[in-house]
Amino acid sequence: MTYEEVVQCARDAYENADARHIYEHIAVQVNVVGEGAGIFYIEVAERAVCVEPYDYFDRDALLTLTAETVVALANGKVRLLDAINQGLVKIEGNTEKVWRLASVKLKPRQK
């Protein structure tokens, strides 16, 4: 899987995501390691979600994971808590904001 495919998978999952219950700003950078390595961010602003393939220097948190884990999370095949407990995701920064982001209802990727 390429970096571009990983970012597109995240974009597809967050497209039309329901973030109406989140009133604060959240910015989480995602560092993808291994195959498809690269950096993108997920931002909630004004109760809408955006995924962009850039560094986010003023981020609330940083997630480090593989492309395979990004896809599994985006497709709802694994929950964030389970991925963390299995050592698949490393979190740095404001974990409370990561959990708020995880509460956003995603639109599973269509194949």
Q: Give long-range contacts, CB 8 A cutoff, 24+ apart: 81-85.
A: none
Residue 90: pLDDT band with limits 50, 70, 90: very high
Domain 3-99 has CATH 3.30.160.270: no
Could you give the C-alpha distances from 52 to 11, 43, 83, 84, 87, in angstroms and in order? 8, 8, 22, 23, 25
Which pLDDT score, from 0 to 100, does residue 71 have? 94
Per-residue pLDDT tens for 29-85? 999 999 999 999 999 999 999 999 998 889 999 999 999 999 999 988 999 999 999
Confidence check: pLDDT of 109 > 70: no
Domain extents in the chain: 3-99
pTM score:
0.91
Confidence check: pLDDT of 107 > 70: no
- Asked if 31 and 59 count as a contact pair (C-beta separation under 8 A), the reply is no
